[in-house]
Amino acid sequence: MKLATAAMLLVATTLAACGGGQDDGAKTSAPKAPATIPELTKDPLTLSFIWFDWPPAHALEAFANAEYKKERPNATVKVNTVPNANWHDAMFTQFAARKTDFDIAILDSQHIGEAVTNGNILDLTDFVKKNIDVKAYDPYLLAAYGQFPQAETGKRDENASLYGLPLLGDTWTMIYRKDLIGDKPPQTWDEMISVAEKCQANNPGVSGLAFHQANGSDAAAVTYNTVNGVYGGNLWDAKKRKIDGVLNDAAGHEAMDVLVNKMKPLTAKGSGNWFIDEVNAAVAQGKACIGFNWIAASGGLLDPKQSKLGTTREQILDKLGFATLPSQKTNLVPLGGMGMHVSAYSPTANQAEALNFMQWFERADVQKKWAAAGGVPSRTDALQSPEFLNAGPFNQVYTDSVPRMRDMWNVPEYARLVDIENTGVNAALNGAKKPKEALDDIAREQQGVLDSSNRKGGGGL
Amino acid sequence: MSDPIPVPTDHPGQVASATPPAPGRSRRRLGDRGLAVAFISPALLLLLGMSVFPLLWALYLSFTDYSATRGGPARFVGFGNYTAILTSAQVHQRALTTLIYVVGAVALQTVLGFAIAYLISRRTHGRGLLTTLFLVPMMLSPVVVGLFWRFMLDAQFGVVNSMLGSLGLGQVEWLTRQRTALVSLIMVDTWQWTPFIMLIALAGLTAVPRYLYEAASIDRASEWFRFRTITLPLVWPLLLIAVLFRAIEAFRLFDLVYILTSGGPGVSTETLSFHVYKVAFLGFNTGTASAYGILMVLVVIVLTQLYLRYLNKLKED
């Protein structure tokens, strides 16, 4: 036993000595994609995506196989899905292995920084310049889904590099019960709380509000960020890389107070771990007056098989209304959705196919077809098209919300920052921490992560 | 020229060996030692490749600031990672959560497992069927168990609250309140792993010699006296080994936390293993995560050694 321990220590010391004293070579950059699409293979080829398991993932696979195959009969599109909570891990553990079983990663906008600095995805700047009409997009959406470093001003920097192209746009919609609160949706956040309070009091068994509170993925964090935004708060000072003192300023604390002390009491008991599915279930079962959810995940609400609000789509729509989020001090809404990014470790033939798919997907006619198939496009012409606006009752909400969007911090440390915020907000919502204490802890811990990101040595707790 | 005269021998093999091998081809039969090496080496190589090498590699990484995603060379940071972990308030909090969980779950499982085993051992009919039924939860995957109980314990739509409601009791927020969330984890783990303790205890109870009970009944010893002086002392060492196994398993708890609470509310059910996962995969701080893992292994080894010494002392006494 002693001998084995000594041997292990000897090996460890030797290896450690070998690794010591080396310079910081961790800074890598993404490899460049060719400006023109290389010659495509004529052999059968499967183009693999990775996404999390939700309706748009299945819609994408069906849409791509129906439409893309018309142009590339030898190509089959496969959208691999994982549970939402594993999405980041599933992509980045493969990136860590420098080998992926997917060709196109559908990254959250905040994941781009981590993937770019690690050299995991292709730099598409030259490809985009040559093949994509960038003027056709809202500049903020193009920046959010592809640009790094991110445009914190909300405007796309034309000189910045692009690493992705929009796949699915998204934001929150307010879902309200027209039969319980009337046809006119509340216009301000305070009014919305008041209406929800009254609705809850008048309808026993129905809670006033339903929103995301879980501590997995970005659930609770987006909820806080949304309230923070409408009450005039900021998530950070991007130029100074300062979170502590900015997130938890007076506006931030007011937002946390509104969330925990005014909104939380209007939610169902035990809803502290609710995310997309639970909010949809509460609305569909008639147990919430007002709910907030991602537009791309709201399609199921109109399915009579899943709803107790009616036996037909029309009956459900008589009771459900969809509106843009109320404003308060500002009118910000959260940016959702994702872009397509080509894996740097995908075989050359598949990378070529991926670029060809992206060029095809971003065409105006295809974007309109994608909109009609249930997707949420990012091209302005598609957003304004009847194909999109008539495809769902919440699509107008998205089009109206685009100029109001705000994203989170798009930095390589995103995964840790969002985890800190999720657990902190979740703790406040479930009584494990006082709201003020929770927000101050979040700001302090997040600042610690930002400050330690360029520091030498270990860390990461 | 006459043929060579064969050398007489008792062993046919020696006849064969007397024939000179073809030039350039030396054929040696494997001896016992060679055979042993041939049979063991595949398993040994597998063990070295799958266990020993990763352990040593993790040990090496634990002294560096290496990140699996960022790549680049690993930079030696000495005991920096270990110091950061041992002095971290976050780690202390997770250690306390883990300790409460381990003590709570293992104590409950031991009491229940032994009680069930004791009751089953006294039955003459249907013992096999009962034992099999009790073992079912242990056979299920922890992920399945976690999902199953997540639905059962849901405050709004769960069966447990529905039953409580039909009894006129209020709703309990099983998974979203600080205290009940940890209690729920302990309950679910107990549901799954009590059968393990029961199985070991049953084996111990079955092995108690009958003549001891017969002698006690001749002396008109009470039921409690027989339990206290015969059953418990003889089953106790075996039970302690079961407790050891369960404690090690509970210390490494990850899957149930991941599925049932995701460590929430806040971080109140975040165990050490779950925290290591976050360090390793959310920030990809591979060096720190390696040090964390090594420390956890060391804690288990040290505590196990102390426990085994106690067991040996018990045996000697």
Tell me the backbone φ, ψ of residue B49, rounded to 5 degrees: -70, -35
Pairwise CA distance, residues A42 & B73, whole Å: 40
Q: A209 pLDDT band (50/70/90 cuts)?
A: very high
Among A276, A426, A373, A155, smallest CA distance to B178 is for A426
pLDDT for residue B224 = 92
pLDDT tens figures, B245-264: 999 999 999 999 999 999 99
Q: Which residue of B has its CA nearest to A438?
A: B266
Task: Quote the minimal CA–CA distance from A21 to chain B in Å.
Answer: 6
User: Is A273 close to B84, i.e. CB distance below 8 A?
Assistant: no
Q: Is B122's pLDDT higher than 90?
A: no
Task: Quote the minimal CA–CA distance from A260 to chain B in Å.
Answer: 14
User: Is A270 close to B267, i.e. CB distance below 8 A?
Assistant: no
Pairwise CA distance, residues B282 & A215, whole Å: 14
Any idea which residue has 């447990």 for tokens? Answer: B160
- Average model confidence (pLDDT) for chain A? 91
User: Is B70 close to A28, i.e. CB distance below 8 A?
Assistant: yes
Task: Quote the minimal CA–CA distance from B308 to chain A in Å.
Answer: 15
Task: Quote the minimal CA–CA distance from B141 to chain A in Å.
Answer: 18
Tell me which H or E stretch contains A385.
none
Task: Closest CB to B262: pick one of A93, A214, A460.
Answer: A214
pLDDT for residue B203 = 94
Q: A190 pLDDT band (50/70/90 cuts)?
A: very high
Q: A404 pLDDT band (50/70/90 cuts)?
A: very high
pLDDT tens figures, B175-198: 999 989 999 999 999 999 999 999
pLDDT tens figures, B197-234: 999 999 999 999 999 999 999 999 999 999 999 999 99
pLDDT for residue A456 = 53
Strands A45-52 and A333-334: unpaired
For B62-154, where are the alpha helices, taking DSSP H only? 80-86, 89-121, 127-139, 142-152
Pairwise CA distance, residues B285 & B271, whole Å: 18
Handedness of CA A52, A217, A208, B158 (dihedral sign): positive
Pairwise CA distance, residues B172 & A43, whole Å: 59
- In total, the C-beta contacts within 8 angstroms joining chain A to chain B are 182
Asked whether the beta carbons of A424 and A442 are under 8 A apart, the reply is: yes
Side chain identity at A330, as an amino acid letter? T
Q: Is A426's pLDDT higher than 60?
A: yes
Strands A336-342 and A165-170: antiparallel
Task: Quote the minimal CA–CA distance from A395 to chain B in Å.
Answer: 30
Tell me the backbone φ, ψ of residue A242, rounded to 5 degrees: -120, 125
The answer to whether the peptide bond before residue A412 is cis (omega within 30 degrees of 0) is no
DSSP, collapsed to helix, strand or coil, labels residue A32 as strand
Pairwise CA distance, residues B295 & B272, whole Å: 11
Q: Is A422's pLDDT higher than 50?
A: yes
Pairwise CA distance, residues A194 & B282, whole Å: 39
pLDDT for residue A54 = 92
pLDDT for residue A245 = 98
Q: Please measure the distance between the N-terminal and C-terminal CA atoms of chain A and give it in whole angstroms.
A: 32
What is the average pLDDT across B280-306?
A: 94
Which DSSP letter does residue B20 get? P
Q: Is A155's pLDDT higher than 90?
A: no
Asked whether the beta carbons of A351 and A103 are under 8 A apart, the reply is: yes
Chain A residues with beta carbon closer than 8 angstroms to that of B270: 423
Asked whether the beta carbons of A309 and A303 are under 8 A apart, the reply is: no
User: Is A458 close to B174, i.e. CB distance below 8 A?
Assistant: no
Chain B residues with beta carbon closer than 8 angstroms to that of A282: 156
Asked whether the beta carbons of A116 and A25 are under 8 A apart, the reply is: no
Residue among B75, B79, B261 with most chain A CBs within 10 A, to mutate: B75
Which DSSP letter does residue B269 get? T
User: Is A431 close to B265, i.e. CB distance below 8 A?
Assistant: yes
Pairwise CA distance, residues B72 & B66, whole Å: 8
Chain A residues with beta carbon closer than 8 angstroms to that of B77: 456-458
Strands A75-82 and A45-52: parallel
Pairwise CA distance, residues B265 & A277, whole Å: 19
Q: Which residue of B has its CA nearest to A115?
A: B69
Q: Which residue of B has its CA nearest to A422?
A: B266
Q: Is A18's pLDDT higher than 50?
A: no
User: Is B84 close to A459, i.e. CB distance below 8 A?
Assistant: yes
User: Is B178 close to A431, i.e. CB distance below 8 A?
Assistant: yes
Q: Is A152's pLDDT higher than 70?
A: no
Q: B28 pLDDT band (50/70/90 cuts)?
A: low
pLDDT tens figures, B91-112: 999 999 999 999 999 999 999 9
Q: Is A13's pLDDT higher than 60?
A: no
Q: Please measure the distance between the N-terminal and C-terminal CA atoms of chain B and give it in whole angstroms.
A: 82
Q: A20 pLDDT band (50/70/90 cuts)?
A: very low
pLDDT for residue B25 = 53
Question: Which tokens in the block code for residue A126?
Answer: 């030259």
DSSP, collapsed to helix, strand or coil, labels residue B31 as coil
pLDDT for residue A454 = 67
Among A150, A79, A92, smallest CA distance to A408 is for A150
User: Is A461 close to B74, i.e. CB distance below 8 A?
Assistant: no
Among A166, A169, A111, A141, smallest CA distance to A296 is for A169
User: Is A426 close to B279, i.e. CB distance below 8 A?
Assistant: no
Tell me the backbone φ, ψ of residue B177, rounded to 5 degrees: -115, 145
More confident residue, A38 or A157: A38
Residue among B177, B257, B262, B271 with most chain A CBs within 10 A, to mutate: B262
User: Is A268 close to B177, i.e. CB distance below 8 A?
Assistant: no
pLDDT for residue B316 = 82
Q: Which residue of A has its CA nearest to B265?
A: A427
Pairwise CA distance, residues A295 & A399, whole Å: 11
Q: Which residue of B has its CA nearest to A94?
A: B69
User: Is B178 close to A457, i.e. CB distance below 8 A?
Assistant: no
Tell me the backbone φ, ψ of residue B21, rounded to 5 degrees: -65, 155
Task: Quote the minimal CA–CA distance from B306 to chain A in Å.
Answer: 15
What is the average pLDDT across B4-22?
A: 48
Task: Quote the minimal CA–CA distance from A422 to chain B in Å.
Answer: 8
Chain A residues with beta carbon closer than 8 angstroms to that of B72: 24-28
Task: Closest CB to B73: pick one of A22, A415, A432.
Answer: A22
Residue among B47, B164, B182, B284 with most chain A CBs within 10 A, to mutate: B284
Q: Which residue of B has its CA nearest to A423?
A: B266
User: Is A461 close to B288, i.e. CB distance below 8 A?
Assistant: yes
Q: Is A378's pLDDT higher than 70?
A: yes
DSSP, collapsed to helix, strand or coil, labels residue A162 as strand
Side chain identity at A250, as an amino acid letter? A
pLDDT for residue B30 = 80
Task: Quote the minimal CA–CA distance from A414 to chain B in Å.
Answer: 9
pLDDT tens figures, A280-332: 999 999 999 999 999 999 999 999 999 999 999 999 999 999 999 999 999 99
Number of Cβ within a 10 Å radius of residue B16: 9
pLDDT for residue B22 = 55
Strands A75-82 and A288-294: unpaired
Pairwise CA distance, residues A219 & A418, whole Å: 9
DSSP, collapsed to helix, strand or coil, labels residue A209 as strand
Chain A residues with beta carbon closer than 8 angstroms to that of B75: 19-22, 24, 456-457
Q: A108 pLDDT band (50/70/90 cuts)?
A: very high
DSSP, collapsed to helix, strand or coil, labels residue B124 as coil
User: Is B65 close to A456, i.e. CB distance below 8 A?
Assistant: yes
Q: What per-residue string of b and e applies to B210-219 under the rule 16 or more CB within 10 Å gives b? A: eeeeeebeee
Q: Is A356's pLDDT higher than 50?
A: yes
| Burial label, B305 (beta-carbon count in 10 A; 0-12, 13-18, 19+) | exposed
Question: Which tokens in the block code for residue B53?
Answer: 């090498």
- Average model confidence (pLDDT) for chain B? 89
What is the average pLDDT across A345-350?
A: 97
Task: Closest CB to A16: pick one of B63, B155, B282.
Answer: B63
Task: Quote the minimal CA–CA distance from A381 to chain B in Å.
Answer: 38
Q: Which residue of B has its CA nearest to A13?
A: B60
User: Is B173 close to A269, i.e. CB distance below 8 A?
Assistant: yes
What is the average pLDDT across A139-152?
A: 85
Q: B73 pLDDT band (50/70/90 cuts)?
A: confident
Among A281, A299, A279, A303, smallest CA distance to A291 is for A279
